[in-house]
Structure 1
């Protein structure tokens, strides 16, 4: 993607190009904060936002549908700013001097140039509920949202996002636009007197640096991080129950994390009774026979603990060598078995499914429900995979993934609140 051609081409390039994040950011503390301004090129004049924080920066280009784009290089020292962002095939570079609370300079992408200007809109980090926790292998930042007013302990919901580079708010920089699904859920929970904590997982949002080496990242990393997050609330007198809420693959992360941490209940939204292995095989059913055979062979090698160096170009997107460690670890987990293990221990589990979910069919959901009979289940009318209220039109459903104006489905929070009525509270010691 670059700031010059049309949006569609931008994201086709971005989605299929690998992001390489290299080097450390050098920053003077005076640069930390949110900068707002504009970028001017021969193709137009459009708004931009740059948030600089310890260890990195994120760039927003709203009119291009780019939000939370990871900045590869940040040099914000003394009076000079330089950033480089990998937008598709050609990096975008911005450089200029600071004058007071403003910075302006030159923009270069490929052989084209333009101008930019930013003004400091907020100095320092955001303090609106910011809370980080130590995983033992890096610090993950997040947002703790407490209900207004009131006193005494409350339920805390730990919100775990779906797969990919999905951040604490439910947004993925590799997908155009924003949906703010988890932020909207957190705000609705607060209105129901339920606290929530959501964090940027390893490789996403402000934690993007921790996932920059794809070959070193495994599914277990996310499981261990979630367990560390849950444990970080142990003994917190503000909360008398902890609910782990996972959306999509976040439910598998949460269920597995509860092997090594303590919570009082788990809710899983948009989950399937088919495992990753089955989904890969079904997705490849229409591929030429030679590729189907190669997929079976690669999965067998990964199951045996071996990686495959030679992969057909046709299969590189899923089976590229740098992604194989993550894929191999992911294949070792089965959601049905994880949930059955939790219910066998007496942990309450709620399975949630929107009847307009385009990612998980009702048949897949029923398969999971049958495999975990002790779990409660609820079907949410007019609800899609990311808990948005949508109509029957497929285009509208997809639009909600890139448009935060689509509201949270009104049945989500009541379903969770009703489930929690049957979850015992912890004894809080004075």
Structure 2
């Protein structure tokens, strides 16, 4: 049995080693509050770089939160490396603030996330180590990325990004999941859109509309994604899945209609965290914490084809 055991051990080690040899992964500090992972394929040629921006909440560079671990953004980075494309993914500023015990939700604004994304772009543009720079924003990160687009960015990829104002998206989500609170939600959203805070909301909506987070929500609601994307003059890829519980296909259609430079790709059975879901809503919801799942293969093929098309 020993020779077989050693042979298996050698094969497992060799496989792991060869996979690690395909790229390098380096910790990079962009600023005092932004750290991330730079993944670069081992090649003698310059590669394109995709800057991956995470979605809402205290989401880290891998796409995870405390009780939700999918590793979807980490898997995206590694899949891009397999296609000879570099990437940088970073922890949102609130992740580091939580680690250091310096969270100040009251003073946080949506524009802070945009500023962080712009700093990341500028950092790598100044390095001049990559052929082209792309932004790939997931969920909330889609709007953040759109607002961060400047002359340093060569292409933009929206992954499950909303087309409506976030206030309207919230109303739709509540209507689909807790319809008894939809009228209350409409009233709160209307106030926030006016730039005013309000304490008139049911306790069940406290996690979303508590007084500390309302200033941030107000700053977020000042932007309409369709108006923002209409001003973007670089190639754009919009991707959404038919099994997305949070951002519907209609949202992607709205973004696509707002800019003639867009390429729209709807992926059958892909959900919000970019996994393939063949079953029901329960399977879909559970997948947010199932890091063993693989990313939808069509997602990777579509992103790679879009990037290679621009070369």
TM-score, normalisation: structure 2: 0.83
Q: What residue is the counterpart of 1:186 in the other structure?
A: 77
Cα distance 1:418–1:304, how it changes in 2: closer, same or farther (>3 A)? Answer: same
Structure richer in strand, relative to its length: 1
Structure richer in helix, relative to its length: 2
Is 2:90 the partner of 1:199? yes
In structure 1, the gaps of 5 or more residues are 1-126, 425-430
Shift of 1:311: 4.8
The residue correspondences of 1:27-42 to structure 2 (distance < 5 A) are none
Q: CA RMSD in A?
A: 2.4
Distance 2:206 2:145 in 1: 29
Is 2:142 the partner of 1:251? yes
Quick one: which of 133, 153, 160 aligns to 2:30?
133
Distance 1:206 1:306 in 2: 26
Quick one: which of 42, 48, 61 aligns to 1:168?
61
SS in 2 for 1:163: coil
TM-score, normalisation: structure 1: 0.61
The residue correspondences of 1:375-390 to structure 2 (distance < 5 A) are 375-390=262-277
Shift of 1:312: 4.6
Quick one: which of 99, 102, 111 aligns to 1:220?
111
Distance 2:243 2:186 in 1: 32
Shift of 1:128: 4.7
In structure 2, the gaps of 5 or more residues are 1-23
**Contact 2:72 2:274 (8 Å CA) reproduced:** yes
Cα distance 1:284–1:187, how it changes in 2: closer, same or farther (>3 A)? Answer: closer
Shift of 1:164: 0.8
Distance 1:267 1:239 in 2: 18
Q: What residue is the counterpart of 2:230 in the other structure?
A: 340
**Contact 2:97 2:103 (8 Å CA) reproduced:** no
**Contact 1:168 1:205 (8 Å CA) reproduced:** no
Q: What residue is the counterpart of 2:165 in the other structure?
A: 275
Distance 1:189 1:332 in 2: 33
Is 2:240 the partner of 1:363? no
Shift of 1:219: 1.1
